[in-house]
Structure 1
Amino acid sequence: MLDEKDLQAIAQLMDSKLKPVNERLDSIDERLDKMQDGIETLKDDSKVTRNAVNNLLDWAEDASIQITPLFKKAK
């Protein structure tokens, strides 16, 4: 049967074997956090772009109704 020393030795061995896995998971978590921040920035930027496009579409619709010559005719 296993005694306390054996269990501690097994626990230390498991910790040493799992250390690289834990470090890699920590690295993945950091990268995921950066990606989530980037996605939030993209969402904010897309809202600004969508608003600007809608304004341009409204302007184009209004401009198509009005007949405004671009240049004055030469006499």
Structure 2
Amino acid sequence: MVDLKKEVESLEKKKQVIRISLEQDRKSLETTQIEASTLEKDIYSLQQAELTSEEEENRFQQMKMDLESNKQELGIFKIVF
């Protein structure tokens, strides 16, 4: 009978250790999920910044082309007059 009582106590202790371990794992998982969410937001922000940078580069290239076109038109205008 004493052996059964000790066995029950041992199993109760193991059960408690497992519960604590599961709780720690749950908290760790929550932290990992938060970190993953933060990383996803950072990636999205970087992608948006990259798109904005590309848009700015495209606008700059368009302005250069417009300037070159205006210079050519001005050159033709000077020749005519």
Would the TM-score normalized by the shorter structure come out above 0.5?
Answer: yes
| Amino-acid identity (%) | 8
User: Partner of 1:23 in structure 2?
Assistant: 23
> Could you tell me how far apart the structure 2 residues matched to 1:10 and 1:53 are?
64
Unaligned runs of 5+ in 2: 71-81
Matching of residues 28-39 of structure 1 within 5 Å: 28-39=28-39
Q: Which runs of 4+ in 1 moved over 6 A?
A: none
Do structure 1's residue 55 and structure 2's residue 69 form an aligned pair?
Answer: no
Shift of 1:37: 1.3
TM-score, length-normalised on structure 1?
0.64
TM-score, length-normalised on structure 2?
0.60
Give the structure with higher Rg (CA). 2
Greater helix fraction, Structure 1 or Structure 2: 2
RMSD: 2.3
Shift of 1:7: 4.1
Unaligned runs of 5+ in 1: 69-75
